[in-house]
Amino acid sequence: MTTTDMTTTDTPGERTDRYDAVPVEQKWRERWERDEIYRAPDPADWDPKKPKWYALTMFPYTSGDLHIGHWYAMVPPDVGARYRRMTGHTVMFPIGFDAFGLPAEEAAIKRNIHPHTWTLNNVARMRGQLKTMGAMFDWSREVVTCLPDYYKWTQWFFLRLYKHGLAYRAKAPVWWDPAAQTVLANEQVIDGRSERTGAEVYRRDLEQWFFRITNYAEELLDFSKVDWPERTKAMQRNWIGKSTGATIVFRTEAGEPLEVFTTRPDTLWGATFMVIAPEHPLVEQLTTPERRAEVERYRTQTAKVSEVDRQSTEKEKTGVWTGGYAINPANGERVPVWIADYVLVTYGTGAIMAVPSGDQRDFLFARKYGLPVRVVVQPPGGHLDGDTMTEAYADAGTMVNSGPLDGLTTETSKARAIEWLEAHGAGSAKITYRMRDWLISRQRYWGAPIPMIYTQDGQIVPVPERDLPVLLPEDAQFRPTGESPLRYHEGFYNTVSPIDGTPARRETDTMDVFMCSSWYQFRYASPHFDMGPELGPIDPAMKAWLPVDQYSGGIEHAVMHLLYVRFFTKAARDMGIVDFDEPMIRLFNQGIILGEDNEKMSKSRGNVINPDDYVLKYGADVYRLALMFRSPWDMGGPWQSGTVPGVNRFVQRAWAVVDAVSPVSDGDGDAPAAEIAALRRLTHQTIRAVSKDMETFGFNTMIASLMEFVNGLTKAHALVGTAAYREGVETLALLVAPSAPHLAEEMWARLGNTYSVHQQSWPEWDPDLAREAEIVIPVQINGKVRDRITVAAGTDDATLRATALASPRVQEILGGREPKKVIIVPERMVNIVG
RNA sequence: GCCGAAGUGGCGGAAUGGCAGACGCGACGGUCUCAAAAACCGUUGUCCGCAAGGGCAUGAGGGUUCGAGUCCCUCCUUCGGCACCA
């Protein structure tokens, strides 16, 4: 359990607040729930004048207590969804729980509590905590991914993908803990050792299930149908990693084809050796008896190294010669074949031709192991010598030592090399992607079982859709065997062939939890729909809700989850399940909120902030505002409890200006016209600023504007009783409604208006009322501000220029000199260059 | 290491290439009080100056521009991701 020490920075001492948030919030939350004012209507009941708006925030993982990070992820989207509602949209804002995964299983092993119990206890607690947020979640749509009525459809998606050729089996390595005899997650491997047993781990191949996400690589590079952050799109593009080049077929001396991928086919004549991944299937055949021991030693060593380390460009390259040779198809030369861990079996063909004169990695490798370097590209005016050059030359130049390419420029030689390869049957143009197919098998219990059956005669047969779900048995044992616990559950493991009823066994691996979160956005449209496998999990009558209009979630999901969900949608489209290309049209990735010590929050560090403490002390609204106010939402950063009392002060002052209101006597009475105009100007400028910030999710500056508005209303106390003041406080209640929903509702009631403020329209600003009468413009001389002039708004450039030049201060500094140039930025500034 | 971000007062941060520091925290001074807390009012980047005013200042160093926190190049630091944490 964690407690938060709040004694130092934010103890309010004796509370003398006039607005007592906690009971007020409780009252309104109960009323909203009773009235179901946030229930999203079915498409049949939509008002045709109101466009639909499906807002979604990434559902929480059922890790235990709700913490500040959840509020940070959910409050701003709630504010955005409420704003859309007030601006005339029919809004759905659902919530659910991502409930399968490793932590539940770890908790089960450590605390001897069943993952099912642990998870559902967490769901119950988190649901209660979420409700204190005062968000407009439509709880009638809640989904929990570990329940059979949900994972049945996760399995259904697997079967559909299988049927459409998008699921297949292949070998892939997993981390193996020899002491526990179990597969480990990357997270459970610390410095090459098992987190739990301390044993040295290594990678071991297992037969596993994959999805062909690479079939969609090209389409996933296209973001033309979404409005997503540039940084997220850049990360996805780089993750997919498109490379254009060629495959070239070398041959081993035994005549076996040994294919490489290269982006520089033009340098083929400079390939003086080859490097293949230690896991490459031809290693066995190429290795000569006298090299075998060393090759084996190197392969064992490689199995212990993580992929991040293997790809490090800092670390010195290592490798060993297999003793074998391959034939370069360009010139028939015998080149030695090496293995090295920097070549990955998962990228390209798992083999490269090494051109040390043109590639720095190959160059260092060649120098280290005394391999020949042959120059094939001479830089303009240069004469490199393979024996004396000190680094590779990768830029353009003139081809040499390259047979038919000699004398060509680098630009033309690439295409010519591919023509040559195709003419000689030695290769062809090829596009390769860094992205790999999606491995979805997990040798674990707490996940959706993969609905496949293996018959005695070796067939792989899908479970018929009508037999779904394949239920996860609740009485499985967690034996450390290296296989899924389901392997040892007789009732689960033993089944019969759907073809002929002969004995068969079930697939015992479960699915990656990212599968659950790849289609949940569809399920919210019809969370309880089940009319059989033909119709699938989405009620055709509810499809009008899709796709998601505004999605949000942590930047840490920029690549994996957000690529998988796009892949699922494109595959679902091609399978006729949905009729659009992208799952989420607009996306916002928030930053990560850290503990007050600027470290990631974790129970072990003891820096976890529990929202409940604040909610009980100040109410949810103050906490909502504090989270939005502290920094731009996409930045994240350390939580500062010091923000809270300041925001509480704002809430109290906001309440005070509304509470002070009195009935409007006779319009604006005899109040000074200038003061009335100034107040109305502030009101309409605030509507403009807040509306703009709502559109861009600029919540921190939005609240700053609201604070200025409240300060202005406080100072305009003399105008209480005027129509202008009444307009001001009503506007305040409306503008604050999305951010501080309870406070706004209480204000709205205090003003004598009809329930509910959340069913009102967003106010509009009048540009004429918002316009400033006079503006102050800085006058710069050579870029330094030397004077300021006050002019009427809309003053033309010629007048601005004349006014600026006529200023005594400017005259004095210029001392009679004629300015070389005068730059006027309309309504902004004058710069005199002297 | 690779990919993506961020770096501005004592602190969180604001700023369509156009007055750097909005808004808030903290600090200081004041009002109220026997006193304190709370609340309210005021001051608050830094240096020089009695003042008027001036100099310096947005991680470091260069560049483009009449003008750079903002654009370009090089570097440093911190954070997120790197395919079985989610």
Contact, A269 vs A402, CB < 8 A?
yes
Please, what is the average pLDDT of chain A?
A: 92
Please state the φ and ψ torsions of residue A384, each to the nearest 5 degrees. -70, 150
How many CB atoms neighbour CB A240 within 10 A? 19
* pLDDT single digits (tens) A799-820: 999 999 888 888 888 877 788 8
Residue A478: per-residue pLDDT: 65
Q: Is pLDDT of A10 > 50?
A: no
Close Cβ partners of A47 (under 8 Å, ≥ 6 residues apart): A90
Share of chain A above pLDDT 90, in %: 75
Does residue A6 surpass a pLDDT of 70?
Answer: no
Q: What is the mean pLDDT of residues A288-292?
A: 96
Give A510-546 as a 3 state SS string: EECHHHHHHCHHHHCCCCCCCCCCCCCCCCHHHHHHC
Helix axes A115-131, A102-111, angle to 10 degrees: 120
Query: Whose CA is nearest the C1' atom of nucleotide B13?
Result: A631
- pLDDT higher than 80, residue A314: no
How far is Cα A710 from Cα A758, in angstroms, rounded to an integer?
20
Nearest nucleotide, CA A187 to C1': B85
Instruction: With beta carbons less than 8 A apart as the criterion, state whether A592 and A555 touch.
Output: yes
Is residue A299 packed enough to be buried (19+ CB in 10 Å), middle (13-18) or exposed (0-12)? Answer: middle
Distance from CA(A162) to C1'(B12), angstroms, rounded: 51
Q: Which nucleotide is nearest to A15 (CA to C1')?
A: B38
**Could you tell me which residues are beta bridge partners of residue A432?**
A243
Give the pLDDT confidence score for residue A773 in this predicted structure. Answer: 86
User: CA at A783, C1' at B62: how many angstroms apart?
Assistant: 21
State, as a whole number of angstroms, the distance between the CA of A620 and the C1' of B61: 48
Cβ count within 10 A of residue A519 = 25
- As a whole number, mean pLDDT of residues A657-674 equals 80
The pLDDT score that the predictor gives to residue A204 is 92
Provide the token pair at A480: 């450390």
- In this complex, the nucleotide whose C1' atom is nearest to the CA atom of residue A829 is B18
Interatomic CA distance for residues A546 and A585, integer angstroms: 10
- Please tell me the number of Cα atoms within 13 Å of A635 on its side-chain side: 12
Angle at the Cα of A719 (from A716 to A723), degrees rounded to 5? 120
Closest nt to A648 (CA→C1')?
A: B24
Judge whether A830 and A801 are in contact, CB under 8 Å: yes
Q: What pLDDT score was predicted for residue A636?
A: 86
Per residue, the 3-state secondary structure of A156-194, as one string, reads HHHHHHHHCCCEEEEEEEEEEECCCCEEECHHHEECCEE
- Give the nucleotide nearest to A437 (CA→C1'): B83
Instruction: Determine the distance between A786 (CA) and B54 (C1') in angstroms.
Output: 11
Helix (H) / strand (E) containing A778: strand A774-781
Tokens of A494: 């033993």
pLDDT of residue A482: 61
Residue pair A552/A633 in contact (Cβ under 8 Å)? The answer is: no
The answer to whether residues A566 and A529 touch, using CB atoms and an 8 Å cutoff, is no
Distance A645 CA to B74 C1' (A): 44
Res A209 pLDDT > 80: yes
How distant is C1' of B5 from CA of A555, in Å? 10
| Amino acid A229 CA to nucleotide B22 C1' distance, rounded Å | 26
The whole-number Å distance from A61's CA to B86's C1' is: 7
Q: Chain B bases under 7 Å from protein CB?
A: 1-6, 11-16, 18-20, 22-26, 37-41, 54-55, 66-68, 79-86
Which range is least confidently modeled, A242-246, A477-481, A668-672? A477-481
Per the structure, the residue whose CA is closest to nucleotide B14 at C1' is A701
Specify the pTM. 0.94
pLDDT, tens digit, for every residue of A387-440? 999 888 888 899 999 999 999 998 899 999 999 999 999 999 999 999 999 999
Q: How much is the pLDDT for A11?
A: 33
Q: How far is the CA of A637 from the C1' of B11 (A)?
A: 13
Nucleotide closest to A825 measured between CA and C1':
B18
Q: How many CB atoms lie within 10 A of CB A116?
A: 16
The protein residue nearest B17 (Cα–C1') is: A825
pLDDT for the residue A93 = 98
A9-13, A272-276, A504-508, A827-831, range with the lowest pLDDT: A9-13
Tens of pLDDT, residues A527-557: 999 999 999 999 999 999 999 999 999 999 9
Map residue A503 onto helix, strand or coil. strand
User: What does DSSP say about strands A584-590 and A548-554: parallel, antiparallel, or unpaired?
Assistant: parallel
Question: Judging by DSSP bridges, how do beta strands A829-833 and A774-781 pair with one another?
Answer: parallel
Residue lying closest to nucleotide B78, CA to C1':
A598
Measured CA to C1', the nucleotide nearest A105 is B85
3-state secondary structure of A339: strand
Identify nearest nucleotide to residue A641 by CA to C1′ distance: B25
- Look at residue A766 in the predicted model and tell me its pLDDT: 96
pLDDT at A666: 66
What is the CA A807 to C1' B66 distance in angstroms? 20
What value does the mean pLDDT take over residues A225-238?
95
Q: How many Å does it take to go from CA A315 to C1' B77? A: 22
Count of helix runs (H) and strand runs (E) in chain A: 25, 31
Q: CA nearest A757: which of A621, A623, A616?
A: A621
CA of A167 to C1' of B82 (A): 24
**A773 or A711, greater pLDDT:** A711
**In the predicted structure, residue A116 carries a pLDDT above the cut 60:** yes
Which pLDDT band, with edges at 50, 70 and 90, does A4 fall under?
very low
User: CA(A805)–C1'(B64) in Å?
Assistant: 29
Position A487 confidence tier, pLDDT thresholds 50, 70, 90? confident
Average pLDDT over residues A145-165: 98
> What integer is the mean pLDDT of A157-180?
95
Residue A726 phi, psi dihedral angles, 5° rounding:
-60, -45
Give the residue with minimal CA–C1' separation from B24: A646
Residues 6+ apart with CB under 8 A from A414: A264, A265, A266
The candidate with the shortest Cα–Cα distance to A514, out of A462, A559, A482, is A559
Give nearest nucleotide to A238 (CA–C1'). Answer: B3
Query: Tens digits of per-residue pLDDT, A554-601?
Result: 999 999 999 999 999 999 999 999 999 999 999 999 998 888 877 788
List Cβ neighbours of A253 (8 Å cut-off, separation of 6 or more).
A324, A325, A326, A327, A334
d(Cα A696, Cα A425) in Å, to the nearest integer? 56
pLDDT in tens, A343-385: 999 999 999 999 999 998 899 999 999 999 999 999 888 788 9
According to the model, what pLDDT value does residue A9 have? 31
pLDDT at A8 over 60: no
Checking each nucleotide's C1' against the CA of A434, the nearest proves to be: B83
A181 confidence band (pLDDT: 50, 70, 90): confident
**What torsion do the CA atoms of A134, A139, A144, A147 make, to the nearest 10 degrees?**
150
With bands split at pLDDT 50, 70 and 90, how would you rate the model's confidence at A13? Answer: very low
User: Is A149 a residue whose pLDDT tops 90?
Assistant: yes
Average pLDDT over residues A213-238: 96
